[in-house]
Amino acid sequence: MTRKKRRMWILLLCALGLGSATALTLTAFQDNLVFFRSPSDVMAERPGPDRAFRLGGLVEAGSVERDAAVSGQRPTVRFRVTDGAHAIQVAYQGVLPDLFREGQGVVTMGRMVDGTFRASEVLARHDETYMPPEVADALKRSGHWNPAEGAPPPPATWNTMDPARPAQQGRTGS
């Protein structure tokens, strides 16, 4: 075998190894990628039951239902997550964070199953001023909050807001 052929075989084997490593890495990342979606995004394009994603928004007032824990099982909680324009029913089995309550920001991770979001994880906001960046972006996109005009409107007004005029609702003196 000549030196030229030997170099060609080495380059070919290196390219094959690099290509295989790249393919394996991309396949591993694809299974672990989790995208954020607001309720409006979910209503516009329903993800399949095999696709995990994060759903974020506010816990809709009056929507929290707690089922008593059966011995040996974790408690089940049902609630709705809203971005002001749309709301998605969420079911979660487990203990909720201490900061979880109606009208507060929440990010859940799970899958859509039969029209209900089955959450495997629930994250609540940290304090009165914190809002997950994804939730803030969803509020801006839906037209319910313009940061240049001040703090977001109170969560209790979200279900009654007119998306065409978000700055007028929830303010006094206007």
Nearest CA-CA partner of 35 in 114, 159, 137: 137
pLDDT of residue 171: 38
Q: Are 58 and 82 in contact (CB under 8 A)?
A: yes
pLDDT tens-digit series, residues 98-115: 888 887 888 888 888 888
pLDDT tens-digit series, residues 63-85: 888 887 666 678 888 999 888 78
Within 8 A by CB and 6+ apart from 140, the residues are 146, 147
What whole-number distance in Å separates Cα of residue 142 and Cα of residue 151? 16
What whole-number distance in Å separates Cα of residue 40 and Cα of residue 86? 5
What whole-number distance in Å separates Cα of residue 68 and Cα of residue 70? 6
pTM of the model: 0.58
The helix (H) or strand (E) run that includes residue 39 is: helix 39-44
Query: In a 3-state reduction of DSSP, which class is residue 157?
Result: helix
pLDDT of residue 174: 37
What whole-number distance in Å separates Cα of residue 98 and Cα of residue 76? 15
pLDDT of residue 132: 63
For the cut 80, the answer to whether the pLDDT of residue 162 exceeds it is: no
Nearest CA-CA partner of 103 in 159, 146, 144, 150: 159
